[in-house]
Structure 1
């Protein structure tokens, strides 16, 4: 089974490196992905995290568009709760005007950080701000409807493709009903039963005649030595914190969960440890696992997230994975050459 490969990069910062180096490594990875023939390259939004330098995907995306030639560039994703949908639409319309047909707008519901950074990002907001669902509806309107009195200028010839990133059945259903694509964050929650339900919900509610897709985001580590590949998988669990007011936040450790609960001063909450979704090994092993997932859940495109901090090894990982996919596609092509005896 054939599928498409794309990349989500977080601009990881290694030991004895600074954030500037992490951003520069993302540029190198994007250039390599472009040359290798990956379909998309997305960058993430995280705040106040010394191990992850990517905090402004819209700014980094503009530079990456200028440094690459063919690959689609986008956000994975903009944390919409912090921002005006109108301003986000304007920003991505500018990008789409500079690089027509190459811009993706991935949107996330999470804050991208803990309470301190969230408070700093939202310090000018009124308490009665819109909920996330309405902001997402507004954003889609600004991106797709240009006959209103208020338009997000400049209006590009080709609008950015829009995606919702999430890890729940409700998010998959909402994206389908809204008419946008959905990316299931398997790298955060690797529960295949949940994945199956989310896939079915999206398929049930997606609109006919649209280009909506259900993509799977998964942590991937590839090396010639399978033990080396597995050694890069440091995080095999994440922690979900659910509050009584309906908010749900994913953090990387129980320590962060306890810190979050303490900062919010919420009396009622629930902490749930969940396994992450990843695959690690040789290129053949990883390709086989992705093929299994593609067949089981009707996945046509994977967004691969690399946990590898060393940039040379990270580039090697995406190179080996693409080699395996290219070889599989070559093997599937019919041999039309005539043989004269």
Structure 2
């Protein structure tokens, strides 16, 4: 089947690892992913977290680029509501100038933390990140160096201008996000490990293709492979995902009930917390490949970015090894660049 595979890593603190050890595990996993034939390796952004060490993807991306030679490295993603699009463009232009053709800029809409850290990130700003679409459009134009003549900042450039621009992706878990990516003409990644409703996935895929028939549609999916289906099922166990539902209508996925309740309390809104069975694609490599093949055909998916739930370091790495393009004998689809 013609699709590519990537990895999303959040630098989890597992098995009593320190922050330093968790980040070095991410470095080692990126190097292993390169050896195993994965197309790209992404790192995430989470703030004020006691369970995840990945707070600054642009810094970690630069280090990973220096520690690898060929695999694409990127953010999954930079939470644009907190930052100046101009500075984000400059950061990734520097990276793309240092490592031409290897840099991905994934942009996320989520806060990446609890309301307290969001307040800290936006401290002193006026709009509090509420103009996301405007920020993303501005960032896209800065990357493409195509600010319109009538723009108040016409003539501005996010230097240095790299010969090969970083690839721009929008991350989301709804048809609305898919529509925005399609309208802007950029690649889209549906976060199925956050929203595993296949009806929503189907609508997002159709919406994206309506606006951008030949665009790059990817899905980040929770997977866990083991030598036998029985072992994989035992490892998955009764894992749950936790969501906090705010009175304003927003819903966010957190790592635990405690964090979800803390988010609700810090939000200042009425809220409810619910747990759901985690929809993790588990089994042998053959089992999982069959499902990926079916998803690829049904939803016209160009790429799967694998996200493995937090287990022991050995079990996570083994899963990525078992699902590697080399091990699955995949004829890789040419990746977006």
TM over 0.5: yes
1:187 aligned to 2:223?
no
SS at match of 1:164: strand
Is this contact kept in 1: 2:185–2:215, CA < 8 A?
Answer: yes
Equivalent residue number for residue 151 of structure 2:
none
Q: CA deviation at 1:190?
A: 0.5
Pairing 1:225-304 to 2, within 5 Å after superposition: 225-233=228-236, 235-244=239-248, 247-267=250-270, 276-304=278-306
2 CA distance for matches of 1:76 and 1:129?
18
Is this contact kept in 2: 1:13–1:309, CA < 8 A?
Answer: no
- Larger gyration radius, structure 1 or structure 2: 1
SS at match of 1:220: strand
Counterpart pick for 1:214 among 213, 217, 221: 217
1 CA distance for matches of 2:89 and 2:275?
35
Pairing 1:92-107 to 2, within 5 Å after superposition: 92-107=92-107
Alpha-carbon distance change, 277 to 86 in structure 1, aligned in 2, over 3 angstroms: farther
SS at match of 1:62: helix
Alpha-carbon distance change, 129 to 321 in structure 1, aligned in 2, over 3 angstroms: closer
Task: Give unpaired runs (5+ residues) of structure 2.
Answer: 148-153, 333-337
SS at match of 1:11: coil
Is this contact kept in 1: 2:240–2:275, CA < 8 A?
Answer: no
1 CA distance for matches of 2:312 and 2:272?
36
Alpha-carbon distance change, 231 to 120 in structure 1, aligned in 2, over 3 angstroms: farther
Q: CA deviation at 1:60?
A: 0.5
Superposition TM-score, scaled by structure 1 size: 0.88
Equivalent residue number for residue 143 of structure 1:
143
Alpha-carbon distance change, 172 to 274 in structure 1, aligned in 2, over 3 angstroms: farther
SS at match of 1:126: coil
Pairing 1:1-341 to 2, within 5 Å after superposition: 1-127=1-127, 131-145=131-145, 148-206=154-212, 212-233=215-236, 235-244=239-248, 247-267=250-270, 276-322=278-324, 326-327=328-329, 329=331
SS at match of 1:162: strand
Q: CA deviation at 1:130?
A: 5.1
Q: How many residues align?
A: 325
User: Which stretch of structure 1 is more off in the superposition, 178-187 or 248-257?
Assistant: 248-257
Q: CA deviation at 1:238?
A: 3.4
Is this contact kept in 2: 1:189–1:276, CA < 8 A?
Answer: no
Alpha-carbon distance change, 324 to 30 in structure 1, aligned in 2, over 3 angstroms: closer
Q: CA deviation at 1:195?
A: 0.5
Alpha-carbon distance change, 154 to 224 in structure 1, aligned in 2, over 3 angstroms: same
1 CA distance for matches of 2:87 and 2:33?
29
Alpha-carbon distance change, 138 to 276 in structure 1, aligned in 2, over 3 angstroms: farther
Q: CA deviation at 1:106?
A: 0.3
Is this contact kept in 2: 1:238–1:274, CA < 8 A?
Answer: yes
SS at match of 2:51: coil
SS at match of 2:47: coil
Equivalent residue number for residue 335 of structure 1:
none
Superposition TM-score, scaled by structure 2 size: 0.89
Task: Give unpaired runs (5+ residues) of structure 1.
Answer: 331-341
User: Which stretch of structure 1 is more off in the superposition, 317-326 or 61-70?
Assistant: 317-326
